[in-house]
Amino acid sequence: MFELVELKTGRIIERYDYDFDEFIKTKYGGFFSLIIDDVFTSGDVRPEFAWRRSKTTELVNIP
């Protein structure tokens, strides 16, 4: 499971029940930043948002 977060506030924008490693291999295109094992890779277009492995295993409604 992985999520898109706003780095400035820590607010979760989206969360997906999809394997994070598979997402990185097949879907990630560099538009947003990426955080893997506390290593930050800046995104090309929207670096203020980052994909990261989710800290929870539950999907919730995110406003």
In whole numbers, what is the pLDDT of the chain averaged over residues?
Answer: 84
Please state the φ and ψ torsions of residue 41, each to the nearest 5 degrees: -120, 120
The full DSSP string for the chain is: -EEEEETTT--EEEEE-S-HHHHHHHT--SSEEEEETTEEE--SSEEEEEEEE-S-S------
The pLDDT tens digits for 28-43 are 888 899 998 889 999 8
Contact 51, 33 (CB under 8 A): yes
How does pLDDT run across 9-18, given as a tens digit for each residue?
999 998 888 8
Query: CA 26, CA 63: separation in Å to the nearest integer?
Result: 27
The percent of residues above 90 in pLDDT, for the chain, comes to 38
